[in-house]
Amino acid sequence: MICKADLHVHSAASPDGRSSLAELARTAKACGLDAVAVCDHNLCTPAPEGLDVLFIPGVELSTDRGHILGLFLERPVAPLTDAAQAVRAIRQAGGLAVIAHPFELEKPGAAALEALDIDGVECANARAAMKNRRANDEARELAARRGLFATGGSDAHGAGELAACYTELETESCTLPALRAALAAGRAKTVFARSCTWREKGLSQLAKAKKYGGAKRRLRAAAYFAGCCLRDVFERKD
């Protein structure tokens, strides 16, 4: 069977996340997703049970070589900025270490990533190409050079962004062990459905400002949001 999993999703527990786990579950079901990986920023949000969609325990760690996803975690991982230490911690927690949107900002670059001991590469990310149009292409090239499995995830910060990118996993059942085994074995296909809009990116900054900012920060976020809306109008989408 084929299970559709969005392997990079943020909840409201992330500073710039906007949707509860219940909202994510409802929307994921409506989008035809079987599973979503909750990868909050430097935070292992407990994955709920009993909902219509399977939640995969995960995290997105900010490191000196970019963001690293920990997928299928069996226990929480503490924030670590050293990439090698982060990968070791993810594996010790039973997870798979995936470099997230490695070329989104054209940093840290291929040279720094070639030597990083990782399990997989995120090759379809709905936000990655907003600043570097070849970001996903370069990620696929990196995965191919190194013989690593590829993942797809929307990088959704709100429920409306779900399934913009996802991973199709060939597996016998839609369970955590089966999905993990399928991904580790490379029985996966990435799907890019659509790009994130600048408006959606602006909404994330508004959410962050409302949670943590004062009046000035909120005003800057509002101005940024307005600029994002204009970019959607005047910039051509691929």
Question: DSSP string spanning 177-229?
Answer: HHHHHHHHTT-EEEEE--PPPHHHHHHHHHHHHHHH--HHHHHHHHHHHHHHH
Beta pairing, strands 66-71 & 54-63: antiparallel
Reading the block at residue 10, the tokens are 């943020």
141: amino acid identity, one letter: E
Closest Cα to residue 156, out of 216, 197, 214, 102?
197
Distance CA 158, CA 200 (A): 8
In which residue ranges of the chain is CATH 3.20.20.140 found?
A: 2-192
The owner of tokens 């907003």 is 130
54-63: strand order across its sheet: 149-153, 120-125, 96-99, 66-71, 54-63, 35-38, 2-9, 165-170, 188-192
The pLDDT value recorded for residue 109 is: 61
Q: Which residues of the chain have pLDDT under 70?
A: 106-111, 236-238
Asked whether the beta carbons of 69 and 77 are under 8 A apart, the reply is no
The model carries a pTM of 0.93
User: What pLDDT score was predicted for residue 212?
Assistant: 84
Q: If 0-12 CB within 10 Å is exposed, 13-18 middle and 19+ buried, where does residue 115 land?
A: exposed
Q: Give the per-residue pLDDT at 206.
A: 87
By three-state DSSP, how is residue 120 classified? strand
Q: What is the mean pLDDT of the chain?
A: 92
- Is CATH 3.20.20.140 the classification given to domain 2-192? yes
Cα 12–chain centre separation: 14
What does the pLDDT read at residue 238? 46
The two tokens of residue 82 are 């050293």
Distance CA 12, CA 159 (A): 10
